[in-house]
């Protein structure tokens, strides 16, 4: 692409007169001190040969090299393009931890010293095992260099880079345990250099909690890794990184990270900023590689130094301002998830493939036709209706009382009696007209249907309007649980109060409303306790206490283990609720770049502290498109890990009615449930499709529970690392 101007020939290449650098010279770190560019690069002597890698998978490199032992060389430049070599290595193998090579340096000047983080090999290159780690060296003059040894964990870990200043008082280090980029913090140099074992053990125990970036597009699907140390700009940390696709082509990407919280991505380019184009990038020891490791700013120009085809060093330059503007503009054209916690530290178990069809039959009710659609006669629900809460009220005194309160007609009452009960639905709705900023606040409407979701009565006005300050931007996505003679409605309140970031118009939190007739509501506002300390949603109250505590499922958007299902507990159904931490997170799927989950309707009690839970799975594919599926889990609170089994997915979007939504809202390919109940042996699931209309599905309850119990019997029980 034209953002960067390349130097058409390598700025450094192997030299036949220097034995240690006669075979390949590549992957340079760089730093500019105001007068000179310091370049530290990887160099390999000639004489190595190819050998086949016996365990190479499809699309993986089929060969390695031997003997292949790298040193680190050094060169300087006053203009950033023409370099003067030092003819002896800056660092050479000589210790047990680097006896098979030093590779891929990154340079950071911090607190008076140049710190060179680099890969060290204690076992031969291209071999199996965990002999690939990263070490640290430092210098003040690039003459006397001190090796500090291995500073990384005792697992395969690469692509480490120190930030050029402390963040919130701590030293910050990027690293890459495949396939993501992670961050770790150290209190001081002594901890980093001499007392890091405890910090690394804590870090690795919950690795996914420390992810900065994940592969997000096809061109980086295989893995990503940090390039040069991040560059500080007013807009954020500019991080150049490499991405690898399934053909093992290496390209360079770019992102902007929050200055105080680098795990928050401000912007990220959808497309690479550099990719193999020139002959020396496409042909070499490892073809089709652009591997950025060095970047400096000289007079407002961003100079990027990269390894090309694992053979030579390339150079590209662009105005720094243009690069920042480019990534910000790219962000305007893409939808970005918040940080997502996934079960990817246990890579063998957690990497899954979507399997369809599910082992139980799912029937779309009424031939897959909507059970509730927008009403153009009602401005508040003229655009979309979606995400309904629902409660089953069986025929009897309770239904008769409610029908009196609803003032149903004689035929309406008789219809519900003949049906055997009523589904009371509290649904989210939006009109066509929004605020001046374009946002249309959601209201909650009321409808009464038969248990099999045939419409009987629909109220012309919402029962909860977006008027109170705690939900002035919308009342959304309710879940309803009956306790005694009271119905507890937990819903998402979207409010202009205290947005998390200045660029946001509001924040979301969990609110509570209660009723005894669904027409007259008491609004309690945000629920008390600690669950609303961060933006939070998808709250569902279990229908009975467990060990004397009322349990609430919820899904924090930020904080620890975000975008996963958490548990909170309270002594009373209205709270205050205090978090017990993570219950379950999404698996990682090969088909998707990101996956996350959130509770559906209140779980169904099965007895003996066991529950059936329906939940949604959100995904983002490698082209940036979203999909929401429905899934089922068996919860057993007699176990150390209450998640006994998971069936994913139970339902995926099918047909245009579920895949194509309102064209202006642009929410397609979505199934989303906030309700479920058992009716005559079937689990009834009211759900929204494409954020536009409401549908229904039926699943044989016994078959679904039996399928989950089979899965539970097949899976070994493990003591969870999560907090419960």
Q: Give mean pLDDT, residues 525-553.
A: 98
706: nearest Cα among 374, 359, 226, 271: 359
% pLDDT > 90, the chain:
88
Structure token digits, residue 481: 């649980």
**pLDDT confidence tier of residue 717, bands split at 50, 70 and 90:** low
Query: Which pLDDT belongs to residue 130?
Result: 76
116: nearest Cα among 103, 133, 125: 103
Please state, in angstroms and rounded to a whole number, the distance separating the CA atoms of residues 359 and 521.
Answer: 41
pLDDT for 236-291, tens place per residue?
A: 999 999 999 999 999 999 999 999 999 999 999 999 999 999 999 999 999 999 99
Average model confidence (pLDDT) across the chain: 94
pLDDT for 52-100, tens place per residue?
A: 988 777 767 888 999 999 999 999 999 999 999 999 999 999 999 999 9
Does pTM surpass 0.85?
A: yes
Q: Give mean pLDDT, residues 605-611.
A: 98
Query: Which pLDDT belongs to residue 350?
Result: 56
Write down the residue that tokens 């009211």 correspond to: 686
Per the CB < 8 A criterion, the answer to whether 150 and 120 are in contact is: yes
Query: Which pLDDT belongs to residue 347?
Result: 43
Query: Which pLDDT belongs to residue 721?
Result: 46
Please state, in angstroms and rounded to a whole number, the distance separating the CA atoms of residues 121 and 135.
Answer: 9
Domain boundaries, the chain: 5-332, 363-714
Asked if the model's pLDDT at residue 348 lies above 50, the reply is: no
Q: Give mean pLDDT, residues 137-144.
A: 98
pLDDT for 425-471, tens place per residue?
A: 999 999 986 654 457 899 999 999 999 999 999 999 999 999 999 99
702 CB neighbour count, 10 Å cutoff: 12
**pLDDT confidence tier of residue 718, bands split at 50, 70 and 90:** low
Query: Candidates 3.30.360.10, 2.160.10.10, 2.115.10.20, 3.20.10.10; correct CATH number of 5-332?
Result: 2.115.10.20
Please state, in angstroms and rounded to a whole number, the distance separating the CA atoms of residues 247 and 244.
Answer: 8
pLDDT for 662-672, tens place per residue?
A: 888 878 999 99
Please state, in angstroms and rounded to a whole number, the distance separating the CA atoms of residues 293 and 173.
Answer: 15
Beta strands 223-226 and 231-233, pairing class = unpaired
Please state, in angstroms and rounded to a whole number, the distance separating the CA atoms of residues 183 and 163.
Answer: 10
Numbers of helices and strands, H then E, in the chain: 9, 48
CB burial of residue 668 (10 Å; 0-12, 13-18, 19+)? buried
pLDDT for 655-705, tens place per residue?
A: 999 999 888 887 899 999 999 999 999 999 999 999 999 999 999 999 999
Asked if the model's pLDDT at residue 722 lies above 70, the reply is: no
**N-to-C CA span, the chain:** 50
**CATH 3.40.720.10 describes domain 363-714:** no
pLDDT for 552-592, tens place per residue?
A: 999 999 999 999 999 999 999 999 999 999 999 999 999 99
Per CATH, 5-332 and 363-714 having the same topology is answered: yes
Residue 323: strand, helix, or coil: helix
Q: What is the DSSP letter of 354?
A: -
Q: How many CA atoms lie within 13 A of 702 on its CB side?
A: 2
pLDDT for 303-330, tens place per residue?
A: 999 999 999 999 999 999 999 999 999 9
Q: Give mean pLDDT, residues 367-386.
A: 97
Structure token digits, residue 498: 């205290």
């Amino acid at each position: 692409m034209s953002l960067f101007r390349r130097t058409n020939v390598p700025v450094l290449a192997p030299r036949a007169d220097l034995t240690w650098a006669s075979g390949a010279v590549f992957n340079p770190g760089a730093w500019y001190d105001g007068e000179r560019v310091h370049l530290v690069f990887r160099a390999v002597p000639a004489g190595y040969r190819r050998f086949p890698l016996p365990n190479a998978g499809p699309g993986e490199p089929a060969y390695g090299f031997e003997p292949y032992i790298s040193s680190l060389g050094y060169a300087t430049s006053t203009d950033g393009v023409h370099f003067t070599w030092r003819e002896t290595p800056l660092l050479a193998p000589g210790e047990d931890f680097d006896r098979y090579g030093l590779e891929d340096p990154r340079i950071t000047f911090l607190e008076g010293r140049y710190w060179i983080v680099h890969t060290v090999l204690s076992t031969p290159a291209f071999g199996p095992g965990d002999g690939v780690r990263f070490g640290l060296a430092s210098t003040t003059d690039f003459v006397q260099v001190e090796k500090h040894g291995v500073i990384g964990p005792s697992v395969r870990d690469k692509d480490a880079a120190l930030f050029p200043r402390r963040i919130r008082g701590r030293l910050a280090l990027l690293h890459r345990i495949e396939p993501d980029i992670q961050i770790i913090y150290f209190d001081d140099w002594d901890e980093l250099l001499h007392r890091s074992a405890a910090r690394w053990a804590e870090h690795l125990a919950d690795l996914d909690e420390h992810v900065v970036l994940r592969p997000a597009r096809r061109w980086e699907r295989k893995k990503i890794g940090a390039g040069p140390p991040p560059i500080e700009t007013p807009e954020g940390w500019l991080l150049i990184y490499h991405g690898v696709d399934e053909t093992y082509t290496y390209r360079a990407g770019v992102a902007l990270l929050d200055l105080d919280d680098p795990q928050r991505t401000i912007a990220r380019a959808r497309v690479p900023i550099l990719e193999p184009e020139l002959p020396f990038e496409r042909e070499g020891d490892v073809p089709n590689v652009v591997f950025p490791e060095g970047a400096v700013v000289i007079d407002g120009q961003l100079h990027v130094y990269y390894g090309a085809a694992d053979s030579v060093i390339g150079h590209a330059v662009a105005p720094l301002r243009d690069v920042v503007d480019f990534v910000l503009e790219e962000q305007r054209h893409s939808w970005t998830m918040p940080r997502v916690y996934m079960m990817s530290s246990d890579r063998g178990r957690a990497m899954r493939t979507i399997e369809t069809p599910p082992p139980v039959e799912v029937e779309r009710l009424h031939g897959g036709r909507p059970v509730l659609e927008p009403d153009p006669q009602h401005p508040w629900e003229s655009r979309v209706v979606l995400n309904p809460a629902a409660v089953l009220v069986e025929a009897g005194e309770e239904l008769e009382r409610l029908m009196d309160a609803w003032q149903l007609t004689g035929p309406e009452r008789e219809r519900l009696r003949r049906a055997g009960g009523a589904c009371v639905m509290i649904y989210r709705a939006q009109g066509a007209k929004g605020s001046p900023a374009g946002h249309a606040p959601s209201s909650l409407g009321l409808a009464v249907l038969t248990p099999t979701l045939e419409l009987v009565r629909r109220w012309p006005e919402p029962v909860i309007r977006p008027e109170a300050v705690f939900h002035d931007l919308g009342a959304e996505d309710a879940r309803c649980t009956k306790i005694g003679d009271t119905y507890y409605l937990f819903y998402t309140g979207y409010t202009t109060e205290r947005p998390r970031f200045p660029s946001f118009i509001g924040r979301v939190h969990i609110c509570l409303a209660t009723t005894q007739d669904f027409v007259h509501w008491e609004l309690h506002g945000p629920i008390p306790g600690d669950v609303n300390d961060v933006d939070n949603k998808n709250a569902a109250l279990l229908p009975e206490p467990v060990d004397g505590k009322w349990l609430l499922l919820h899904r924090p958007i930020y904080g620890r283990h975000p975008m996963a299902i958490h548990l909170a507990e309270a002594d009373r159904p209205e709270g205050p609720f205090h978090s017990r931490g993570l219950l379950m997170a999404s698996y990682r799927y090969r088909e998707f770049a990101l996956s996350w989950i959130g509770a559906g309707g209140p779980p169904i009690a099965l007895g003996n502290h066991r529950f059936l839970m329906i939940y949604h799975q959100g995904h983002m594919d490698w082209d940036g498109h979203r999909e929401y599926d429905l899934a089922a889990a068996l919860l057993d609170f007699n176990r150390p890990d209450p998640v006994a089994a998971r069936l994913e997915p139970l339902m995926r979007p099918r047909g245009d009615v579920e895949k194509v939504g309102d064209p202006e809202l642009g929410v397609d390919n979505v199934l989303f449930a906030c309700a479920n109940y058992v009716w005559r042996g079937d689990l009834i699931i009211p759900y929204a499709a494409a954020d536009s209309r409401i549908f229904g599905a039926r699943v044989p309850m016994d078959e679904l529970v039996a399928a989950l119990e089979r899965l539970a019997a097949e899976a070994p029980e493990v003591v969870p690392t999560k907090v419960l």
